[in-house]
Structure 1
Amino acid sequence: MSDLMKTLAMSASGMKAQASRLRHVSENIANTDTPGFRRKTSTFEETIEAGQRTGLVRSGPVKLDRAELEQIYDPGHPMANEAGYYDGSNVDLVVEIADAREAQRSYEANLKMFDQVRQMSSALLDLLRR
């Protein structure tokens, strides 16, 4: 039964990490037109307890994308410099939508694994009751 609980914990940690990733992607999409906004990226880290690999994952630190900000020409914008340009954001909607789909599919895969293990443990308990 211990292995089933470990598997439940692994799939739950995967869902939590993907939910965090999707939250950052949503922030990026919402701030596509915000001047000076830098895209947020997150990584996943494996959890290690007592020097042993657990198979659990968690979101790593959030990092800002250091790619150049788009220069937008609008002399009437309050943030424009003498030449009429201001810094846009470095968010690419196509990349963000692809990241959102990948996070969603990974979340769904972890959810299916969680449900499968839950069904297996329920069936095991039914067998033990007989």
Structure 2
Amino acid sequence: MSEFSKALSVSASALKAQATRLRHVSENISNADTPGYRRKTVSFEATRGLSDTDAVTVGRVQLDQTDLDRVYDPSHPLADDTGHFDGSNVDLMIEIADAREAQRSYEANLKMFDQSRQMSAGLMDLLRK
């Protein structure tokens, strides 16, 4: 496997990992008001792919174990005798920051993928002459 192919493979795996991360961040944002919802987090792992190429994979999805917010709303169907129910533990500021970080990482990997592709195409053009 050529070095260009290895670079493309690493970039592609990172693109997939960041896309998965962004999907979970968007799930967290969309469920921020869902009672009892726990924030999902993902971790990245380095793996050895084909032809000794390093790659990035997404580890197991984990639920954030911080305490759920206690919401006071006696009219809510899930409220207990005191009028409280468990909200979610999603902090929108953290989710927006995570989304921005995932987006920028995705863009950086996309540029690396495109640069590798352009370099490979340039090399092929030189070899044809």
TM over 0.5: yes
Q: Distance in 2 between matches of 1:127 and 1:97?
A: 45
Q: How many residues align?
A: 129
Q: CA deviation at 1:54?
A: 3.2
Q: Secondary structure at the match of 2:93?
A: helix
Q: CA deviation at 1:49?
A: 5.0
Q: Distance in 2 between matches of 1:85 and 1:67?
A: 18
* Structure 1 counterpart of 2:26, one-letter code: S
Q: Distance in 2 between matches of 1:101 and 1:83?
A: 39
Q: CA deviation at 1:55?
A: 2.1
Q: CA deviation at 1:20?
A: 0.1
Deviations 1:6-60 (A, max 9, x none): 000000000000000000000000000000000000000111359x963200111
Q: Distance in 2 between matches of 1:53 and 1:47?
A: 9
More strand by share: 1
List structure 1 segments (4+ residues) > 6 angstroms apart after TM superposition. Answer: none
Q: CA deviation at 1:105?
A: 0.2
Unaligned runs of 5+ in 2: none
Contact conserved, 1:46 with 1:53, CA < 8 A, in 2?
A: no
Deviations 1:49-87 (A, max 9, x none): 59x963200111000000000000011110001111000
TM-score, normalised with respect to structure 1: 0.95
TM-score, normalised with respect to structure 2: 0.96
Q: Distance in 1 between matches of 2:43 and 2:72?
A: 34
Output aligned runs, 1:1-130, within 5 Å: 2-49=2-49, 54-130=53-129
